[in-house]
Amino acid sequence: MRYAGTHLIIDLWGATNLDDPGHIDAVLREAAIATGATILHGHFHHFSPNGGVSGVLVLAESHVSIHTWPERDYAALDIFVCGDCDPYKAIPFLKRGFLAERVQLAEHKRGLIG
């Protein structure tokens, strides 16, 4: 099976520190590096009044994104990496960084060419 990359859609429930852009930036960078990726660019936005954060890391091997709803202890992430990177290696770092009670995950093989 040949494909361009693996894209994980990740939901974190019962999570903490979802309103701290600095913490979120640090956790995502650590998680991205754990997959084997190279970080090219990051941008994190802090919203008012709910304190939610939206952010992205552009990687040499695609991207990581996060959007948080602190009022619901919920965060929506996706991790898309290519080549030899393994997106599943990010999961322990996300669990530890956000102390999520529950993680839901879906995987897409992107650019599948048989």
Using the rule CB under 8 A, is 65 a contact of a second copy? yes
Question: What value does the CA radius of gyration of the chain take, rounded to a whole number of Å?
Answer: 14
- Return d(Cα 66, Cα 42) in angstroms, integer: 11
Amino acid at the residue 73: D
Rounded Cα distance between 25 and 28, Å, is 5
Does the active-site annotation cover 67?
A: yes
Active-site residue, from 7, 62, 63, 85? 62
Q: How many CB atoms lie within 10 A of CB 12?
A: 25
**Which one from 7, 63, 82, 85 is the annotated catalytic residue?**
82
Cβ 78 to a second copy shortest distance, Å = 7
* Stretch in the footprint of a second copy (CB under 8 A) among 16-24, 26-34, 51-59, 87-95: 51-59
> Does 80 interact with a second copy (rule: CB under 8 A)?
yes
Q: What gap in Å lies between CA 99 and CA 112, rounded to an integer?
A: 34
- The rounded distance, in Å, linking the Cα atoms of 97 and 27 is 6
| Catalytic site includes residue 65 | no
Catalytic residues: 62, 67, 82
Footprint of a second copy (CB under 8 A): 4-5, 7, 9, 11, 40-41, 43, 45, 47, 54-56, 58-60, 62-63, 65, 67, 69, 72, 74, 76, 78, 80, 82, 106, 108, 110-111, 113
